Amino acid sequence: MTTKIVTKEYIPEAAKCLNEGGTVVFPTETVYGLGADAFNADAVKKIFVAKGRPGDNPLIIHISDISQLPLLAKEIPDNAVLLAKEFWPGPLTMIFKKTPQVINEVTAGLDTVAVRYPSNLIAHDLIEQSMTVIAAPSANLSGSPSPTVCSDVVDDLNGRVDYIIDGTGCEIGLESTVVDVSDEKVTILRPGAITLEMIREFVPNATLDGGLIDNDKIPKCPGLKYTHYSPNADVIVVQGNMDNVRKYISCRVSPDIGVITYKGGDYPGAGLVLNAGDNMTSYAHNLFTYLRRFDKNNIKTVYAEFSVEDGIGVAVRNRLYKACGHKIIEV
């Protein structure tokens, strides 16, 4: 299959392709998504084939207007109305009880559906012009880090989808916060840029799913149970007091070692050192594309400097711990 790699001038053409059952990769404010018409079972199946994604992992449906929500959600609880008013359009996905129209290919047979209303303008215009709603997982091959720049999408999906729309870099860099509002008890199933603290301002008794905190429990978000969500390199997280972190890593540097620094550690002699920045927002923005860059440079082992922080730091920790397969050194 030939993939057309285009810019936003081609949104009308790409939207027509979606409407006719094709697949289009588009930028969002979180990560790139691989979209197809959510009401077309054959189109949705193409997503699973293109990604090599297990069929038991449900997809998020993306809307371009709040008026589309009742097509998908059987009930819209008060808490969901509050959160939608505050955080939509934006990096928040909510889980609702589904309407009968939502097909099993999207929900993997669950009686709930995940819905997101992205704020990125390319995503918005594409969905609106497709005249439908769009099922879209992250636009990576199943198992690799989500793509946050167009060249990472091209590496994974060129030749496997109809269109890739280049929208340069994704602002946030980690996937949306997934919140289950289908129950009276509001639960964060996947942490993201909309943090627990932000949600608690509107829903004070919201909690984090136990599976996100306790390694022995299975997360409720089906996608989070897959551990192979990582680069080829072995990732080792080193966390604690930054002086101790740097001492620990410095003793281990060599030309085939890579390091992700946080707040600027210096490692002469390491194969590749990438700076995640000075705060967790910039760590989130850089993490996935950095993990891919180590692989491209044939780095076999990556040490990641890390410190446990609140806010979006919870989401960075969740993705980093998955990438390292829970190889965490406390110093």
Q: Which residues bind Mg ion (CB under 5 A)?
A: 138
* Contact assessment for residue 89 and residue 143, using Cβ atoms and an 8 Å cutoff: no
* Contact assessment for residue 169 and residue 286, using Cβ atoms and an 8 Å cutoff: no
Closest approach of ligand TXA to the CB of residue 12, in Å: 21
> Which residue minimizes CB distance to ligand TXA?
223
- DSSP conformational letter for 147: P
Closest approach of ligand TXA to the CB of residue 155, in Å: 17
Q: Which does 120 bind (CB under 5 to 8 A by kind): Mg ion, ligand TXA, none?
A: none
**Alpha-carbon gap, residue 157 to 164, rounded angstroms:** 9
Query: Which residue stretch of 134-142, 210-218, 227-235, 311-319 sits at the interface with ligand TXA (rule: CB under 6 A)?
Result: 134-142
Question: Judged by CB under 6 A, which of 137, 173, 191, 313 binds ligand TXA?
Answer: 137
Supply 185's token pair.
């008890």
Q: For residue 196, which of 279, 85, 281, 310 has the smallest C-alpha distance?
A: 310
Question: Judged by CB under 6 A, which of 175, 209, 295, 305 binds ligand TXA?
Answer: 175
Beta pairing, strands 187-190 & 177-180 = antiparallel
Query: Which residue stretch of 82-90, 107-115, 251-259, 274-282 sits at the interface with ligand TXA (rule: CB under 6 A)?
Result: 107-115
* Contact assessment for residue 197 and residue 311, using Cβ atoms and an 8 Å cutoff: yes
Supply 63's token pair.
């809307």
Binding status of residue 153 toward ligand TXA by CB under 6 A: no
Query: Which residue stretch of 111-119, 193-201, 207-215, 269-277 sits at the interface with ligand TXA (rule: CB under 6 A)?
Result: 111-119
End-to-end Cα distance, the chain: 50
Binding status of residue 223 toward ligand TXA by CB under 6 A: yes
Question: Judged by CB under 6 A, which of 50, 60, 94, 206 binds ligand TXA?
Answer: 60
**Alpha-carbon gap, residue 242 to 28, rounded angstroms:** 33
Across the chain, where does the E strand assignment appear? 4-6, 24-26, 33-37, 60-62, 92-97, 112-116, 134-135, 163-165, 177-180, 187-190, 207-208, 234-239, 257-261, 272-275, 301-306, 328-330
* Contact assessment for residue 141 and residue 1, using Cβ atoms and an 8 Å cutoff: no
Closest approach of ligand TXA to the CB of residue 190, in Å: 6
Q: Which does 289 bind (CB under 5 to 8 A by kind): Mg ion, ligand TXA, none?
A: none
Question: Judged by CB under 6 A, which of 19, 107, 279, 282 binds ligand TXA?
Answer: 107
Query: Which residue stretch of 110-118, 203-211, 234-242, 296-304 sits at the interface with ligand TXA (rule: CB under 6 A)?
Result: 110-118
- DSSP-based three-state secondary structure for 124: helix
Question: Judged by CB under 6 A, which of 83, 92, 94, 178 binds ligand TXA?
Answer: 178
Would you say 224 or 259 has its CB closer to ligand TXA?
224
Give the footprint of ligand TXA on residues 11-40 (CB under 6 A): 28, 30-31, 33
Binding status of residue 170 toward ligand TXA by CB under 6 A: no
* Contact assessment for residue 39 and residue 139, using Cβ atoms and an 8 Å cutoff: no
Residues forming contacts to ligand TXA in the complex (CB under 6 A) are: 28, 30-31, 33, 57-60, 93, 95, 107, 110, 112-114, 116, 136-138, 175-176, 178, 189-190, 221-224
